[in-house]
């Protein structure tokens, strides 16, 4: 999934809540608004970094892609 699609899913009112929950679950992050997340240590994780982390893990990448396809359909 491209980063632009990832950002769109995080920002679109119809998809954002579901997709944000998925990102939080996959990476053990907390959403802080806009395109920003925070890890358990309180360090900011920007959307680009979250996208990279998900894309670098095959299981997480598959889960994100499947969720996106279910949302988009």
**Phi and psi, residue 11, nearest 5°:** -105, -15
Question: Angle 3-11/16-27 helices, nearest 10 degrees?
Answer: 120
Provide, rounded to the nearest whole percent, the portion of the chain with pLDDT above 70. Answer: 99
The answer, yes or no, to whether residue 59 has pLDDT greater than 80, is: yes
The answer, yes or no, to whether residue 55 has pLDDT greater than 90, is: yes
pLDDT of residue 49: 96
The answer to pTM > 0.85 is yes
Give 34-47 pLDDT, tens digit per residue: 889 999 999 999 99
pLDDT of residue 46: 94
């Amino acid at each position: 999934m491209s980063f632009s699609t990832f950002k769109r899913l995080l920002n679109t009112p119809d998809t954002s809540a579901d997709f944000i929950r998925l990102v939080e679950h996959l990476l053990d992050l907390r959403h802080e608004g806009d395109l920003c997340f925070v890890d358990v240590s309180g360090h900011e994780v920007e959307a680009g970094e979250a996208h990279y982390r998900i894309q670098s893990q095959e299981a997480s990448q598959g889960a994100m892609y499947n969720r996106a396809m279910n949302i988009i359909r």
